[in-house]
Amino acid sequence: MAAIAHETQSVPVSKRRGPSFVTRREAIWGYVFLSPWIIGFVLFTGLPMVVSLIYSFTQFNLIKPEEGMTFVGLRNWFQLFRDPQIYQSLLVSVRFALISVPLGIALPLGLALLVNSKHLIAKNVFRALFYMPTMIPIVATVLIWGGILNSDTGWLNRLLAIIGIEGPKWFQDKHWVLVTLSIMGFWGLGTTMVTMLAGLQNVPTDLYEAAKVDGAGPIYSFFNITVPMISPIIFYNLTLAIIGAFQYFTQAYIISNGRGDPEGATYFFNLYLFKTAFSFLDMGYGATMAWLMFLIVLVLTIILFTTSGRWVYYASGED
């Protein structure tokens, strides 16, 4: 009797608990697999962000820990507004973004159109070769472009001299150096080109055929079919390009060994941040600058996302 009673009782219980046990087991396994990222996020992103914010209210010298960390309230944050170098270096970053971001979208789009053309022979060879410089270490890229753009011995100015143009001093002229850096950036555009190419290939061809039947020319088709259809990819790359321009560091650091030559024209915000933390060893102010950069990027991203509804077209909705 007892055994039967036990059986009859246990059947509904296990039926009720069965699925929940399976889902709990599944969830546990899932968290186990996610754990490296969750732990890593807390250790290397979440906590450091909070600590960085705390740093911004303190003053301490990294090399002399015995001096200790002193709480200074909002002094670092007020300092941001009084520091002329902050405006200067933000201006450099903004100016650079205004030059490099439009180029960084238009040029890969142009290249993608070129290597997507049905009249191009050996397309795959062209695609690979246009992408290839993206693999070259940035330091080598800077050295190579530094050579070809050298105002005395570089090829470009000598070629310009042949047709009677005196080329600018690419690296020494403060009006040109940001253009020079943008040109050097051409070699990093392969990834953008490949994503745009994939976007172009996903545009349904019947749209073009329908437009052709209606008498639309290639330019009309480009602006009214191609651009709207690949606008999500343009948007994605635009976001990354703007953020990238504000974080620009390596090339600027290498061309003048971190001095920001000529006349501070390449003293980017991120370079100033680096100097503040690792040369002037002012960690508190450095962390404040880092948070300022985070807030700027956050605001820019929010602006981009809220305005994206007006010009980004999602053909199939979400996922």
Please, which of residues 243-262 interact with other proteins by CB under 8 A?
243, 246-247, 249-250, 253-254, 257
DSSP calls for 33-46: HHHHHHHHHIIIII
Q: Shortest distance, CB of residue 107 to other proteins, whole angstroms? A: 10
Single out the segment in contact with other proteins by CB under 8 A; choices: 11-19, 95-103, 206-214, 272-280: 272-280
- Judge whether 142 and 197 are in contact, CB under 8 Å: no
Where does residue 253 rank: exposed (0-12), middle (13-18), buried (19+ CB within 10 A)? Answer: buried
**Residue 130 binds to other proteins (criterion: CB under 8 A):** yes
- What is the greatest pairwise CA distance in the chain? 109
**Residue 303 binds to other proteins (criterion: CB under 8 A):** no
**Residue 275 binds to other proteins (criterion: CB under 8 A):** no
Any bridge partners for residue 58, and if so which? 71
Site for other proteins in 6-65 (CB under 8 A): 23, 26-27, 29-34, 36-41, 43-45, 47-49, 51-52, 55, 62
Q: Shortest distance, CB of residue 265 to other proteins, whole angstroms? A: 19
Q: Applying CB under 8 A, which of residues 57, 170, 176, 186 lies at the interface with other proteins?
A: 186
**How far, in Å, CA of 252 to CA of 245, rounded?**
11
Task: Map 237-289 to HEC letters.
Answer: HHHHHHHHHHCCCHHHHHHCCCCCCCCCCCCCHHHHHHHHHHCCCEHHHHHHH
Single out the segment in contact with other proteins by CB under 8 A; choices: 10-18, 83-91, 121-129, 218-226: 121-129
Single out the segment in contact with other proteins by CB under 8 A; choices: 7-15, 119-127, 174-182, 207-215: 119-127
User: Given the complex with other proteins, which of 108 and 264 has the nearer CB atom?
Assistant: 108
- Judge whether 266 and 95 are in contact, CB under 8 Å: no
Question: Tokens for 316?
Answer: 């199939």
Q: Applying CB under 8 A, which of residues 61, 221, 239, 308 lies at the interface with other proteins?
A: 239
Contacts of 117 (CB under 8 A, 6+ apart): 123
Q: Applying CB under 8 A, which of residues 202, 209, 220, 315 lies at the interface with other proteins?
A: 202
**How far, in Å, CA of 10 to CA of 20, rounded?**
15
Q: Shortest distance, CB of residue 83 to other proteins, whole angstroms? A: 17
User: Given the complex with other proteins, which of 57 and 130 has the nearer CB atom?
Assistant: 130
A 10 A CB-CB count for 72 gives 17
**Phi, psi of 201, rounded to the nearest 5 degrees:** -70, -20
Q: Shortest distance, CB of residue 32 to other proteins, whole angstroms? A: 8
Q: Shortest distance, CB of residue 45 to other proteins, whole angstroms? A: 6
Contacts of 221 (CB under 8 A, 6+ apart): 208, 211, 212
Amino acid of residue 194? V
Q: 80-109 mask for other proteins (x: CB under 8 A)? A: ------------------------------
Q: Shortest distance, CB of residue 1 to other proteins, whole angstroms? A: 35
Q: Applying CB under 8 A, which of residues 91, 132, 165, 315 lies at the interface with other proteins?
A: 132
**Residue 299 binds to other proteins (criterion: CB under 8 A):** no
Residue with the two structure tokens 């050295």: 143
**How far, in Å, CA of 173 to CA of 234, rounded?**
32
Single out the segment in contact with other proteins by CB under 8 A; choices: 2-10, 77-85, 214-222, 286-294: 286-294
